[in-house]
Structure 1
Amino acid sequence: MPSSFTVKHAAGYEQLMGRWSRKLAPLLIEFAGLEDGERVLDVGCGTGSLTFALPRVAAVQEVIGIDYSPVFVEEAARRNKDPRISIRQADACALPFPDGSFDRALSLLVLHFVPDAAKAVSEMRRVVRPGGVVAAAVWDHLGGLQSMRMTWDTLAARSSAAREARSRYFFQPMMRPGEMRQCFIGQGLLDVQETSLTIRMDYRSFDDYWEPIAAGEGPLGKFVSALSQADRAEADAAVRAAYEGGQPDGPRSFAAVAWACRGVCPTS
């Protein structure tokens, strides 16, 4: 099942989100737990932010990263230098592994882009052994992703199309408080815990922030790239003004909050 996330180039994704997912990955691992000798599945590995972080935390036996996007699979495989890690193309809603194959299945910043997120959680539970752990994190687009909300709100003030797109972006699956927890419980996971994880997104300049969006990366980039030339010029100027906030262009720092959830697979 394809993701609703738009990726055009691996380098553009890295500038848009990869650099921030690398900061978030250790927080998810700490919350999910990890032990030496485990086999771990990374569902929706992207360019490998979580995949490559796992062996740095524990002496894992094996890590398999899967992603639906050929762009991500190719880039993650290119970066991989660890024989314990393998990268495969696969569907989060139809994982190509036998029941109970892994000690843990983790997913970083993916489930909110999967149209049938509950099915993906069900598949993660299926491939994890009894007593093993399923864990995931998604951005809190509405209340916790200030850098993206700044732009969506700026654009939404200018057009009804942007307001409609903003609503879809803010209320993707798993983003409301408690929603991921209820999904995990509904899929039969036990001892389900939900929390929030916070990092900061530090940009060098407006161009550092805007370049991947202007190039069409991600949901916001997809919307911006579809604007007419005149509307695009107005959007560029309006978002620049929002980023600068009345001060000269330069570094800006935005808090970024993700919802995280973990649950244990039943033993009987």
Structure 2
Amino acid sequence: MPSSFNVQNAAGYEQLMGRWSRTLAPLLIDFAGLADGERVIDVGCGTGSLTFALPKAADLAEIVAIDYSPVFVAAARKRNKNRRITIQEADACALPFDDGRFDRAMSLLVLHFVPEAGKAIGEMRRVVRPGGVVAAAVWDHIGGMPVMRMALDTMAVLDENARELRSRYCFQPMMQPGEMKKSFVKNGLTEVEEASLLIRMNYKSFDDFWEPIAAGEGPLGKYVATLNPAQKAETDAAVRAAYEAGRPDGPRSFASVAWACRGVVP
């Protein structure tokens, strides 16, 4: 099942989101738990933000990372120096592994881009042994991502298509309070808990924020790529004004919240 996330190149993704995924990864690991000797699967590894954080947290026997995007898989493989980590292309909704193969399955910032997110949760449960843990985190787009809402709300004033994008972006799968927990329970997981994870996104300047989006990365970038030169110039200026908020360009810090959920395989 392909992801709805738009990726042009790994470097652009790193600037757009990878650096923040790396900041969030240890929080998900702490929430999910981890123990020496375990076998773990990272479902939707991207460029490896969670994958490469896992061996820093415990002496694991094996880490398997999968992603649907060949761009991400190639980038993660290039970074990999750990013989216990293997990275491959695979579908989160049809994991190519035996039942109960892993002690834990984790997914960082992926499920909201999977059209059949519930099916992916079911697959994570299937490949984890009884007593093992399934855990995932997704951004709270509607209420917990002020920097992206700032850009989207600004663009929505200018263009009806941006208003449609905002509606889709804010209500992607697994983002509403209790939604992921309900899906975990529906897929047979027990002792299900939901929490919020908080990081800050610190930008050096407007360009540090806007450059990957202007280059076409991510959902906002996909929209920006459809604009004609005049529309793009107007959008760039309006979002810059929102970022600067009447002060000179420079560093800005935005709180960002992810929903997290974990459950135990019975």
Q: Who is 1:33 aligned against?
A: 33
Aligned letter for 1:166?
A: R
Aligned letter for 1:54?
A: L
CA distance in 1, matches of 2:85, 2:146: 34
Q: Who is 2:152 aligned against?
A: 152
Deviation track 1:17-58 (CA, whole Å, cap 9, x = no partner) reads: 000000000000000000000000000000000000000000
Aligned letter for 1:262?
A: R
Q: Who is 1:221 aligned against?
A: 221
Aligned letter for 1:119?
A: K
CA distance in 1, matches of 2:225, 2:8: 12
CA distance in 1, matches of 2:38, 2:147: 36
- 1:111 matched to 2:122? The reply is no
Q: Who is 1:169 aligned against?
A: 169
**Is the partner of 2:21 in helix, strand or coil?**
helix
Deviation at 1:193, TM superposition (A): 0.1
* 5+ residue gaps, structure 1: none
* 5+ residue gaps, structure 2: none
Aligned letter for 1:241?
A: A
Deviation at 1:174, TM superposition (A): 0.3
4+ residue segments displaced more than 6 Å: none
Q: Who is 1:56 aligned against?
A: 56
**Is the partner of 1:105 in helix, strand or coil?**
strand
Aligned letter for 2:26?
A: P
Deviation at 1:229, TM superposition (A): 1.1
Deviation track 1:160-195 (CA, whole Å, cap 9, x = no partner) reads: 111111000000000000000000000000000000
CA distance in 2, matches of 1:224, 1:171: 20
Q: Who is 1:235 aligned against?
A: 235
**Is the partner of 1:50 in helix, strand or coil?**
coil
Number of matched residues?
A: 266
Deviation at 1:158, TM superposition (A): 1.2
Deviation at 1:159, TM superposition (A): 1.6
CA distance in 2, matches of 1:228, 1:116: 33
Identity %: 73
**Is the partner of 1:86 in helix, strand or coil?**
strand
**Is the partner of 2:51 in helix, strand or coil?**
helix
CA distance in 1, matches of 2:227, 2:105: 39
Deviation at 1:228, TM superposition (A): 1.3
Aligned letter for 1:148?
A: M
Q: Who is 1:197 aligned against?
A: 197
CA distance in 2, matches of 1:8, 1:160: 25
Q: Who is 1:97 aligned against?
A: 97
Aligned letter for 1:143?
A: G
TM-score by length of 1: 0.99
Q: Who is 1:14 aligned against?
A: 14
Aligned-residue Cα RMSD (Å) equals 0.4
Aligned letter for 1:106?
A: M
Q: Who is 2:207 aligned against?
A: 207
Q: Who is 1:181 aligned against?
A: 181
CA distance in 2, matches of 1:87, 1:190: 29
